[in-house]
Amino acid sequence: MPKPRKKAAPAAKSERPDSARIFLHGARAVFTSVQAMVLFATFIGYGGLCVSLGFPLGATLLSSAVIFAMPSQLLVVSGYIGGNTLPVIALGVFLSAARLLPATVTMLPYLRGKLWQQLIASHFVAVTVWVEGKRLLPSRPANERLPFYFGFALMCVTMATLAAWIGYFLAGSLPRPLAIGLSFLTPMSFLIALIRNARDLVDYLALILGLVLAPLFVWLKLPLDLLWAGLLGGGIAWLIHRWKRARRAA
Amino acid sequence: MNLFVGSELWPYILVIVAGFLPTDVWRWLAVVSARKLDEDSEIMILIRGVATALVAGVIMRLVLFPGGDLEALPLYVRAGSVAVAFVAYLLLKRSMLAGVLAGEAVVILGAYYTLPH
């Protein structure tokens, strides 16, 4: 820890905080975050799922680090196994990731900096970093937020990628029933998270329609099964929501 | 692009082009536009619905038609695990942990009794 050289130092310090120290504070906060522990469990499960589906280890780790959004990752892996074409998978991912736009916008007030810093910072916005960022950032001085955020977010991605590797390794060495149990951990917890996070009628309707339509369309061997389930399920949910509201207003 | 389909590089190409880019484009768009979005505007509600249905759909596809080693597990075990997880979640004070543990128990016991190991 470098000591302030002169009396002038404190003033300079308030403008440029000791970024490295605050970065480490952020990184350390990951290990006391329950939300982050849930994230790691999810990524351990993701690693296990990737083994069972024959997705290579390198691609599993790469997807954890560069996508870092579990719904997108599940869509890529599922599309790969289902033999879907690249544009179909990309469109599904594009539609499912739209929720990251409002989430990122609400994070930006806490991440003031240069454009390139904000662009890099935005990569880490997903449920965990969003929830924990909103919990941890507001109480910190404005000039400490960006280094704290980067410490927290980078540690999250690093640990999540490591967790995926651990899951990949575990699934290969556990007894078969446990390995299969591990593979179902992430789909199962995501399903319950969807139910828990549903707020309005439109959420519940879209959830139920997606649950019913997707297997139906796969079973009917409809091309672009998932996309249709998403567009129709979401579209119908939205129409019913509008109709209900119009009736309430009338 | 067809050149790479089925090659060793294919999963990596999918991760970057079909996973990373279409995900991060929203994150970048948020920074570049930086507009306060009305979360309850009609278009955002529609987008939320489509995203929810898609994620619910991919989960069901992974559980009911997983492919790979998971297909060996009987369909009734896979479907049953989801149903049990859901019921346990609702009955046990909406605890996510209880739901996941109950569903996992069905999967693991089901795999133990129905699969050679």
Residue B50: which of A191, A196, A94 has the closest Cα?
A: A94
Top residue of B4, B7, B29, B60 to mutate, by most chain A CBs within 10 Å, is B60
B15, B17, B28, B71: best to mutate for the A interface, most A CBs within 10 A:
B15
Contact check, Cβ <8 Å, B50/A76: no
Note the pLDDT of residue B42: 85
Return the pLDDT at A9: 44
The CA distance from A58 to the nearest CA of chain B, in Å, is: 8
List, for residues A75-109, the tens digit of each pLDDT value: 999 999 988 899 999 999 999 998 898 889 888 88
Residue ranges of chain B with pLDDT lower than 70? 1-3, 34-39
Q: Dmax over Cα atoms in chain A, in whole Å?
A: 76
> Both tokens of residue B86?
């859901």
Which one, of B93, B71, B55, lies nearest residue A194 by Cα? Answer: B55
Phi-psi map region of B66: left, alpha, beta (phi>0 left; psi -120 to 50 alpha): alpha
DSSP state of B35: P
**Chain A partners within 8 Å of B99 (Cβ):** 188, 192
Q: In Å, how far is A61's CA from the nearest CA of chain B?
A: 10
Measured distance CA(A16)–CA(B75) in Å, rounded:
59
pLDDT, greater one: A2 or A155 = A155
Q: Residue ranges of the alpha helices (H) in chain A?
A: 9-15, 19-29, 34-53, 57-66, 70-82, 86-96, 100-107, 115-122, 127-136, 145-173, 176-197, 201-219, 225-249
| Region A221-240 average pLDDT | 92
Give the whole-angstrom CA distance, residue A200 versus residue A197: 9
User: Does the distance separating the beta carbons of B111 and A102 come in below 8 Å?
Assistant: no
CA dihedral B36, B40, B44, B47 (to 10 degrees): 150
Q: How many CB atoms lie within 10 A of CB A23?
A: 20
**B10 with A80: Cβ contact below 8 A:** yes
Which residue among A52, A104, A177 sits closest to B115, beta carbon to beta carbon?
A: A177
| AA identity, residue A51 | V
What confidence tens digit (pLDDT) does each residue in A183-228 have? 999 999 988 988 888 888 999 999 999 999 999 998 998 888 899 9
Candidates A102, A157, A234; CA nearest to B49 is: A234
Residue-wise pLDDT tens digits, A48-84: 999 999 999 999 999 999 999 999 999 999 999 988 8
Q: What is the pLDDT of residue B36?
A: 62
User: Which candidate from B25, B28, B57 shows the least CB-CB separation from A214?
Assistant: B57
Say whether residue B49 is in contact with chain A using an 8 A CB cutoff.
Answer: yes
User: Angle B28-B34-B37 (CA atoms, 0-180°, nearest 5)?
Assistant: 110
- pLDDT greater than 70 at residue A2: no
Candidate from A72, A91, A229 with C-beta closest to B23: A72
Which pLDDT score is estimated for A13?
A: 45
The predicted structure's pLDDT at residue A238: 95
B75 Cβ under 8 Å from any chain A Cβ: no
Instruction: Provide the pLDDT for residue B37.
Output: 63
Q: How many beta-carbon pairs below 8 A join chains A and B?
A: 319
Yes or no, beta carbons of A74 and B19 under 8 Å apart: no
Query: CA nearest A158: which of A57, A40, A71?
Result: A40
Token output for A179: 């390995």
Kindly state the average pLDDT of the residues A111-138.
92
The predicted pLDDT at position A209 comes to: 96
User: Does the pLDDT value for residue A39 go beyond 70?
Assistant: yes
Whether the predicted pLDDT of A8 surpasses 60: no
Interface probe for A, chosen from B4, B10, B31 (most Cβ of A below 10 Å), is B31
* Residue in the structure block whose two tokens are 């990596």: B12
Q: Do B70 and A53 touch (CB under 8 A)?
A: yes
Q: With beta carbons less than 8 A apart as the criterion, state whether A148 and A23 touch.
A: yes
User: Please, are residues A15 and A143 in contact by the beta-carbon 8 Å criterion?
Assistant: yes
Give residue A116's pLDDT: 92
